[in-house]
Structure 1
Amino acid sequence: MQTQTEPPRQLTLPPQGGGWRETFFSLLGTLMFGAMLVALSIYTVPNLVTDWQVRDAAQPVADGRVSEGSCSSRLMINICDATLSIMTKTGRVSRDVNYIFADAHSGNYTVTVLADPARPELATTDMALDKLWNRTITLLIAGGLLLAMTVAPIIGLFRKMRARREEAAA
């Protein structure tokens, strides 16, 4: 009985350096996550800062109203948008708010409009102040992740470009 041995097969790897596709997707990822980071900064940070400013002096407002309020939840991350309006000495003041926080809550949220009597234009809700630390930590984590996903593709591109230059010089 004769056994035939097959010659060893050569394993080939794909060529290094993805070319224009790799560069395109790196830049697209940077642009996409960078835009999300900018949106987080524009819509969430100002409300968080003003809530930290009024947290000690905020009181319930008798005629405070919430209009167009809604919350959505994805994987324990809640995003709530609302328009708050209160009556001041100069007339009715409206303020759009946006809250992002982590919570395993299911169902509806009930909120009370609060404001600092010295600065009623900075109206907020009791839910926003109750979840102030939660919102701050969620913002820091989400912002850090988005920043890392914005910068990492660019760093990767620069490293590959440097490796190609060194390889070409050798």
Structure 2
Amino acid sequence: MQSQTEPPRQLSLPPQDGGWRGTLFALLGTLMFGAMLVAIAVYTVPNLVSDWQVRGTAQPMADGRVTEGKCSSRLVLNICDATLSVRTKTGVVSRDVNYIFTDIHSGDYSVTVLADPARPELATTDMALDKLWNRSITLLVGGGILLALTVAPVIGLIRRLRARPA
């Protein structure tokens, strides 16, 4: 008995351009990760820069208080928001701070308010200065990842549009 061999099946591939869904996801990814990058730049970078400026001259402030503060942890990434107030000769100076750093920690953080006596408006905490390098590296790595995730979809979209047959 002769066996009949079937012809090989044709495999069909999806279109290379990804269609309108690919374009939509690329734009949404760019917007989402770009917004996160802008948020880090607006809320975290100014505090980090000012902490680098006062790191050598900051002293504990007797009248320094944390009026509001909370930290949240996701795996090893910690995000802390606080409102610091320092009493000066001219009145009370209040400052909102945001810290992002990596740490394996359970429980609450205890902080002391510090400030440069010459610039009390740049109030910070001892935790922020202790984790200054950690915060800097976390910002560089996280910001780099977010920048790559913001730019990569645009590059992919441009490549797909250029590869389209005319």
Segments of structure 1 that go 5 or more residues without pairing to the other structure are none
User: Which of 49-58 and 19-28 deviates more?
Assistant: 19-28
Find the counterpart in structure 1 of residue 55 from structure 2.
Answer: 55
Residue correspondence of structure 1 range 98-109 to structure 2 within 5 A: 98-109=98-109
Find the counterpart in structure 2 of residue 19 from structure 1.
Answer: 19
Residue correspondence of structure 1 range 28-39 to structure 2 within 5 A: 28-39=28-39
Contact 2:64 2:84 in 1 (8 A): yes
Find the counterpart in structure 1 of residue 75 from structure 2.
Answer: 75
SS across alignment from 2:79: strand
User: Which of 17-26 and 99-108 deviates more?
Assistant: 17-26
The question of 1:137 aligning with 2:132 is answered no
**Two-structure CA RMSD over aligned residues (Å):** 1.1
Contact 2:93 2:121 in 1 (8 A): yes
Q: Distance in 2 between matches of 1:102 and 1:154?
A: 30
Q: Distance in 1 between matches of 2:43 and 2:121?
A: 17
Find the counterpart in structure 2 of residue 94 from structure 1.
Answer: 94
Contact 2:68 2:82 in 1 (8 A): yes
Q: Distance in 2 between matches of 1:5 and 1:46?
A: 71
AA in 1 matched with 2:15: P
Q: Offset at 1:95?
A: 0.5
Q: TM-score, normalised by structure 1?
A: 0.94
Q: Distance in 1 between matches of 2:68 and 2:10?
A: 65
Q: Offset at 1:4?
A: 4.4
Q: Distance in 1 between matches of 2:68 and 2:144?
A: 30
AA in 2 matched with 1:57: T
Contact 2:83 2:96 in 1 (8 A): yes
- Percent of matched pairs sharing the same residue: 80
Q: Offset at 1:127?
A: 0.1
Q: Distance in 2 between matches of 1:37 and 1:149?
A: 10
AA in 1 matched with 2:42: I
